[in-house]
Amino acid sequence: MKRVAQVIAVRPEKLDEYRELHRNVPPAVLDRIRRSHISNYSIHLLGDRLFGYFEYHGDDFEADLALMAEDEATQQWWRLTGPCQIPVAAAAPGEWWATAEQVFRME
């Protein structure tokens, strides 16, 4: 299993919209996430920062993410959520959600 933690900023004027969008995530989007071998997915908000965490249980992370990116329902979802977000300064070139380094884990 691969644990993934990511960070992105939310445009302050879009905070309420972002919260509202996530009250009713389309079932097709959730299904695609599950079929991409992702579980235990959560997003947390602190100020204008979103922290996402999920666990990946597949064999080819990049291929599963590519399938997600090709999915029409997911693309529609991203057209709604994308304008609410701003990559953080620590994001690598071309990276939307910046991947955080795990520095501690308690078993």
Question: Which two structure tokens, joined as six digits, stand for 72?
Answer: 């029409």
Using an 8 Å Cβ cutoff, are 21 and 83 in contact?
no
Pairwise CA distance, residues 85 & 52, whole Å: 13
Q: For 37-91, write each residue's pLDDT tens digit.
A: 999 999 999 999 999 999 999 999 999 999 999 999 999 999 999 999 999 999 9
Long-range contacts, stretch 75-79, CB < 8 angstroms, 24+ apart = 76/26, 77/25, 77/26, 77/29
Residue 107 binned pLDDT confidence (cut-offs 50, 70, 90): confident
Using an 8 Å Cβ cutoff, are 39 and 55 in contact?
yes
Using an 8 Å Cβ cutoff, are 51 and 43 in contact?
yes
